[in-house]
Amino acid sequence: MNKVKFLKLLSVGESLNPQMNRLNASREIAPVTLPNCRLIKGIETGSEDIDILPNGLAFISSGLKYPGIKSLAPDKPGEIFLMDLNENDPRAVELRISRGFDLASFNPHGISTYVDTYGTVYLFVVNHPHQKSTVELFKFVEADNSLVHLKTIRHDLLTSVNDIVAMGPDSFYATNDHYFSDFILMFLEMFLGLTWSNVIYYSPEEVKEVAAGFYSANGINISPDRKYIYVADVFDHNVHVLEKHADWNLTHVKTLQLDTLVDNLSIDPYTGDIWIGCHPNGMKLFYDDPENLPASEVLRIQNILSEEPAVTRLYADNGSVLQGSSVASIYEGKLLIGTVFHRALYCEL
């Protein structure tokens, strides 16, 4: 059964299939525009995740090939771009990757950075070579805009990795967005409402499941005080707050329910605000109809630990400018909005 036939079957009678609600299949959005935005030249085939260093250097993963979602360059290897947001007119520069790394099968997904006490920058990249899941560890060399590949991390618990947040130079939390990796089984998992998705802690000394029971754990990040881990459940339309303990285990604190499919989470290091790239209607993202483009939406959550967090829609587009937003990252009044397979937007707020 091909993807189109399967999705048509899945969409027959939303009242007969409550799981279609997980895709927000009937939702339409009103536009919310920002005045000072431009598409980023050179990024044409995705900008799925973005991580910005404290000094304003932004890393962007591009070229993701993900089951069920179209790719504008299916035969082109993925790339990592860099933007210096301190420049007056920042541009995206592709980072050169060191020899010995298999560039031909590079399929980057979620990313995270870690800066050690000596100022060394490590870049963790979720990779899907040949539709498998690995985590690639690189060292960033700013002098020549390059990434030196240090090692490839594989583990039986890292089965369908979506996003990652670095905890040290070789340790991290990662989300598995599905129990299965096959496209049809992934959708069957959603259709049946299975909550088999989880969060894994990885270090060279220990690898373990630290949180479970998600429909599809997606974006993950950490609070500025490093006490809480935030996890986006894309099909349950919410953000979970989990307390981090000394043994790296996580315990549930609260869940914030939203009305959109939440993807990657970025944290303002000064305010603690959570910025989210969202999919207002997931059916459009998977269906690939040129007459009904996947939309984009950016939310900001303020004071998530309070009894009444403030949720603000700061950007929304019907797909005419930006299709399938997956991340929104802020740095000193500059906003980058990335997408699963489309372009990227640079805005001055």
| Token reading at 123 | 């870049």
Residue 282 has a CB neighbour count (10 Å cut-off) of: 23
Pairing of strands 146-153, 96-97: parallel
Is 48 part of any known ligand binding site? yes
CB 211, CB 198: distance < 8 Å: yes
Class of residue 340 by CB neighbours under 10 A (exposed 0-12, middle 13-18, buried 19+): buried
DSSP state letters, 206-221: -EEEEEEEESSEEEEE
**Torsion sign, CA atoms 113, 114, 120, 126:** negative
Spatial separation of the C-alpha atoms in residues 341 and 295, rounded to whole Å: 12
Is 55 part of any known ligand binding site? no
Marked catalytic residue, from 109, 128, 237, 279: 109
Spatial separation of the C-alpha atoms in residues 144 and 17, rounded to whole Å: 53
Query: Distances in Å between the alpha carbon of 128 and those of 26, 235, 296, 330?
Result: 31, 21, 24, 27
Write down the residue that tokens 């959005």 correspond to: 29
Is 163 part of any known ligand binding site? yes
Is 102 part of any known ligand binding site? no
CA 70 to chain centre: 16
Spatial separation of the C-alpha atoms in residues 169 and 187, rounded to whole Å: 35
Is 94 part of any known ligand binding site? no
Query: Is 109 a catalytic site residue?
Result: yes
Is 264 part of any known ligand binding site? yes
220 bridge partner residues: 231
Is 49 part of any known ligand binding site? yes
Is 162 part of any known ligand binding site? yes
Helix (H) / strand (E) containing 286: helix 282-287
CB 179, CB 159: distance < 8 Å: yes
Binding-site residues: 48-49, 111, 162-163, 218, 263-264
Binding-site residues for Ca(2+): 48-49, 111, 162-163, 218, 263-264
Residues acting as catalytic residues = 109
